[in-house]
Amino acid sequence: MPAVSKGDGMRGLAVFISDIRNCKSKEAEIKRINKELANIRSKFKGDKALDGYSKKKYVCKLLFIFLLGHDIDFGHMEAVNLLSSNKYTEKQIGYLFISVLVNSNSELIRLINNAIKNDLSSRNPTFMCLALHCIANVGSREMAEAFAGEIPRILVAGDTMDSVKQSAALCLLRLYKTSPDLVLMGEWTSRVVHLLNDQHMGVVTAAISLITCLSQKNPDEFKTCVSLAVSRLSRIVSSASTDLQDYTYYFVPAPWLSCKLLRLLQCYPPPEDGAVKGRLVECLETILNKAQEPPKSKKVQHSNAKNAILFEAISLIIHYDSEPNLLVRACNQLGQFLQHRETNLRYLALESMCTLASSEFSHEAVKTHIETVINALKTERDVSVRQRAADLLYAMCDRSNAKQIVAEMLSYLETADYSIREEMVLKVAILAEKYAVDYSWYVDTILNLIRIAGDYVSEEVWYRVIQIVINRDDVQGYAAKTVFEALQAPACHENMVKVGGYILGEFGNLIAGDPRSSPLVQFNLLHSKFHLCSVPTRALLLSAYIKFINLFPETKSTIQEVLRSDSQIRNSDVELQQRAVEYLKLSSIASTDVLATVLEEMPPFPERESSILAKLKKKKGPGAVSNHLLKTRKACLTDIKGISTPSPSADLLGLRAGPPVTAAAPSAGSLLVDVFSEAGVNDDGFLRFVCKNNGVLFENQLLQIGIKSEYRQNLGRMYLFYGNKTSVQFVTFTTTLNVQAKPVEPLIEGGAQVQQVINIECLTDFSDAPLLNIKFRYGGALQNLTLKLPVTINKFFQPTEMASHDFFQRWKQLSLPQQEAQKIFKANHAMDTEVLKAKLLGLGMALLENVDPNPENFVCAGVIQTKAQQVGSLLRLEPNAQAQMYRLTVRSSKDTVSKRLCELLAEQF
């Protein structure tokens, strides 16, 4: 027991606690507690005249028992009584008990609130502080309701003591976090901001936490804090280490306050006022300068505090991203840290550099550290640091150093930790493709990748190699040679066998001239791997064999023998058996000409127009793409937003539409495509939503966006579900819409889903759909996505039922030439009456039966509700089954509406 002043020691409590600690078993402890509880009950029950000291003691005991994990269902009244005591210790225990034990729905809350109110209005600073702490500790909605009005007043009152101000600021922050709607700053805003000028550093530190939180919600109201924060920061930065006395921590003046100020500034764009900006730049320079000075102390606290400020300053510089000079200096500073002995510093430096690398000003500066980073990747002990190093390498990669970086990453992959291998493989694959100069290098790299980390190579990666090899005549021979060599290894990864099988099947003839790789040698090599592979690979190999028969007639008998064997022709797997039977028959029945036609070399894969990569490639040639993409990413983004021409599927690989030889085709959009089309407007999902309201709008390897929407008259509500398909979290997830939308959670955990609600009001008729721009960081890489939201004019249809007579009357009324829009088009889908009906109903109009004299035709009527006006529309769809054509006629009271509807619908049938 520490020595305590007489009368305050609470000997009974000390004895009780030591009894409990001496208990040998749990049972003994429970017995002792039961005894004590009975004693306290009899004390609380018996004589009413329990003095403050014993009340405090028993309440303390109850608290201790509660903290041991037992239920306490009495004594609350006594604790509340303690609140009205005038002794500090008694009040303190009362508040302690209440903040730990009182639940918000207790009937005592009124009494408690009363006591707190009394203390708040007392002039005693310690009592006020106790009350504020209690409010903050409980932090319930009820507390916020009762005191949210009071606390700002205390915070800004002139005569409030500094310590109380601190408590009040933090208490308000807590209430704001629990129930932001109840804390209304309004009139207090400017006075709260001026707390930044307070004499007392503690008050400033507390206030700045509050201001940072508030300004994140409504940045405009707190805009004035920027200049104040800058001046405060400059005063601290320029002060000598002795000026601030109590607030100097190991020779660093007010480190916490500095960090918080820098963080507050990160909520705002660079100050527009030149003087303020100049001052801030000066501050940041001073901070960077100070980092160069020799340390004033060898203690770790000194360097920690100094570095904390430095890193905050660097993130502010990165946030502003407008001062090339500062960015480069920051980069150099971080470069020094890259070689620091402290692992944490190295980690932080790598992390910050990652963000620096994406800034156009400092990209070159970051690149100078490539050797160090590669070294870090190789020698760092901590896997998390290595991971950061890999991220940074990925971020700093461009055309000039791609070869080196990819080579380093590949060599590291051999020894990399399993936890980061998958990511590394992905990065290597992306970089290799992004910055491929010549395709033989690309093929080498990817084959190496498969050799080193085959298990982690996803399907898309090897699809892509094959696609590129097929499309480029110049690498085919080289590729065939390389895979042939790679397959020589006694143990190959299955993915390697797949690539090998496919490429040799196509281009084996290119290397057949060499006796070392004569057709039979090739075949035997492939067939030696056959039995070790899974069913899909075997199927692929069988297809390769039949191609061999075409390429090299001399292998025919050998291959037929293989196909005829029981293990093929009687295989239990249906797919394999079918292939074996069919290929065997094909090879024995078909003439060489037929065989040559059927088994012709694969045609080049179509490069789709939609992909941004394809576009840029056309414009600048294959070499310049990557540079352009990276260097002018920002410019690009704005450019591309302007391009809203509808484009077909962005499936660059297009193996789906490929020939029947590859049985295993990707079913979803592929990863690589997403990487390249990151800035393009993606609207293949858009048209599907004309006739339906719910579904998946967009999906790739990383992200799935689902949509659920409902419309009534001119109003609509749309729920967007962002699902993270990976196991890694997405950070700084933001969506911007060219119309207003509620902000979405900035972070999506791996495998999780977040929801965003968009309220839509149709003001007048429109033809362009709103664009949704999504940005997030996955791993180190920034992902950018622009989607058309499927909001079309027909969503605001109100169906109108009418009889045949009415319909034709109105039809005639809308007879002006500009009111009608007509289109004749070919059917994209089968002409099924039921499907057509469902689509027309999904459109939102009323489908009118028995109106048109021809029962084959469909007529619909509806009114589009906009805020400005109502537009009545009539529609007639005449299918022609023989010609597989439709004629669509739309008449409406507004010409633009007719046109737009016609356009939209023409794509649907």
Partner 1 sequence: MIGGLFIYNHKGEVLISRVYRDDIGRNAVDAFRVNVIHARQQVRSPVTNFARTSFFHVKRSNIWLAAVTKQNVNAAMVFEFLYKMCDVMTAYFSKISEENIKNNFVLIYELLDEILDFGYPQNSETGALKTFITQQGIKSQTKEEQSQITSQVTGQIGWRREGIKYRRNELFLDVLESVNLLMSPQGQVLSAHVSGRVVMKSYLSGMPECKFGMNDKIVIDKQGKGGTTDDSGKSGKQSIAIDDCTFHQCVRLSKFDSERSISFIPPDGEYELMRYRTTKDIILPFRVIPLVREVGRTKLEVKVVIKSNFKPSLLAQKIEVRIPTPLNTSGVQVICMKGKAKYKASENAIVWKIKRMAGMKESQISAEIELLPTNDKKKWARPPISMNFEVPFAPSGLKVRYLKVFEPKLNYSDHDVIKWVRYIGRSGIYETRC
Which residues contact partner 1 (rule: CB under 8 A)? 24-26, 31-32, 34-35, 37-39, 41-42, 44-46, 73-74, 76, 106-108
Q: Is 12 annotated as a binding residue?
A: yes
> Which residue number, 70 or 191, has a Cβ lying nearer to partner 1?
70
To partner 1, the closest distance from the beta carbon of 45 in angstroms equals 4
Work out the angle between the directed axes of helices 439-453 and 418-434 (0-180°, nearest 10).
Answer: 170
- 43 annotated among ligand-binding-site residues: yes
CB of 681 to partner 1, least distance (A): 54
Between 29 and 282, whose beta carbon lies closer to partner 1?
29
Q: At what angle do helices 535-551 and 519-530 cross, to 10 degrees?
A: 170
- To the nearest whole angstrom, how small is the minimum distance from the Cβ of residue 67 to partner 1? 14
Which two three-digit tokens encode residue 812?
């005639």
Identify the burial level of 699 via C-beta atoms within 10 angstroms of its C-beta, where 0-12 means exposed, 13-18 middle and 19 or more buried.
middle
Q: How far apart are CA 828 and CA 841, in angstroms?
A: 19
Per the CB < 8 A criterion, the answer to whether 880 and 834 are in contact is no
CB 74 within 8 A of CB 42: no
- What is the signed CA dihedral for 696, 698, 700, 702, rounded to 10 degrees? -90
What is the rounded CA–CA span in Å between residue 848 and residue 890? 15
CB nearer partner 1, residue 81 or residue 401: 81
Which residue number, 35 or 634, has a Cβ lying nearer to partner 1? 35
Q: Is 61 annotated as a binding residue?
A: yes
**Run of H or E residues at 66:** helix 52-67
For residue 751, say whether it is annotated as part of any ligand binding site.
no
- Closer to partner 1 at the Cβ: 107 or 593? 107
> What count of residues does the chain have?
909
Shortest Å distance, C-beta 378 to partner 1: 35
Helices (H), 472-518: 473-487, 494-507
Contacts 24+ apart (CB under 8 A), 204-207: 204/232, 204/257, 205/166, 205/254, 205/256, 205/257, 205/260, 206/165, 206/166, 206/167, 206/169, 206/170, 207/155, 207/165, 207/169
The residue among 20 and 754 lying less far from partner 1, judged by its C-beta, is 20
CA distances from 303 to 103, 239, 293, 341, 815 (A): 44, 18, 11, 13, 82
Taking a C-beta distance cutoff of 8 angstroms, is the pair 627, 398 a contact?
A: yes
Helix (H, G, I), strand (E, B) or coil at 423: helix
Q: What's the CA gap between 256 and 430, in Å, rounded?
A: 41
User: Closest approach of Cβ 137 to partner 1, in Å?
Assistant: 20
State the nearest-atom distance from the C-beta of 73 to partner 1, in Å: 4
Residue at 457: amino acid letter: V
Shortest distance, position 31 Cβ to partner 1, whole Å = 4
Place of tokens 């040679």: 481
Nearer Cβ to partner 1 (33/225): 33
Cα 696 to chain centroid distance, Å, stands at: 18
Least distance in Å: CB of 783 to partner 1?
41
Q: Which is nearer to partner 1, 76 or 498 (CB)?
A: 76
Of 39 and 163, CB closest to partner 1: 39
The nearer residue to partner 1, 19 or 438, going by C-beta atoms, is 19
Closest contact distance (angstroms) between CB of 115 and partner 1 is 17
58 is in an annotated binding site: yes
The helix or strand, by DSSP H or E, that contains position 826, with its residue range, turns out to be strand 820-826
Query: Are residues 91 and 82 in contact, defined by beta-carbon separation less than 8 angstroms?
Result: yes
- Which one, 29 or 342, has the nearer CB to partner 1? 29
Structural tokens at position 534 = 């899974």
If you search the block for the tokens 């397959």, which residue do you land on? 487
Tokens of 422: 């998958």
Task: Locate 491 and state its tokens.
Answer: 């143990």
d(CA 228, CA 238): 15
**Can you tell me the distance from the alpha carbon of 181 to that of 175, in angstroms, rounded to the nearest whole number?**
10
Radius of gyration of the chain (CA): 37
Residue 57, marked binder: yes
| 11 assigned to a ligand binding site | yes
From the CB of 108, what's the least distance to partner 1, in Å?
8
Name which of 5 and 105 has its Cβ closer to partner 1: 105
- Whether the CB-CB separation of 463 and 655 falls below 8 Å is answered with yes
Q: How far is the CB of 104 from partner 1 (least distance, A)?
A: 13
The answer to whether the CB of 537 falls within 8 A of the CB of 545 is no
Which residues does 653 contact at the CB level (< 8 Å), separation at least 6?
A: 460, 463, 464, 467, 605, 666, 670, 672, 673
- Residue 53 Cβ, how far from partner 1 at the closest point, in Å? 20
In the bound complex, what is the minimum distance in angstroms from residue 16's beta carbon to partner 1?
13
36/820 with CB nearer partner 1: 36
Alpha-helix runs per DSSP H in 552-573: 556-564, 566-569
Integer angstrom CA distances of residue 580 from 444, 527, 554, 568, 602: 32, 14, 19, 6, 21
Pick between residue 73 and residue 181 the one whose CB is nearest to partner 1.
Answer: 73
Q: What is the Cα–Cα distance from 780 to 423, expressed in whole angstroms?
A: 10
Q: CB–CB of 510/522 below 8 Å?
A: no
State the nearest-atom distance from the C-beta of 39 to partner 1, in Å.
7
Closest separation between CB of residue 50 and partner 1, Å? 13
Short-list 69, 117, 60, CA closest to 94: 60
Query: How many whole angstroms from its chain centre is CA 771?
Result: 18
User: Which residues carry a binding-site annotation?
Assistant: 11-12, 43, 53, 57-61
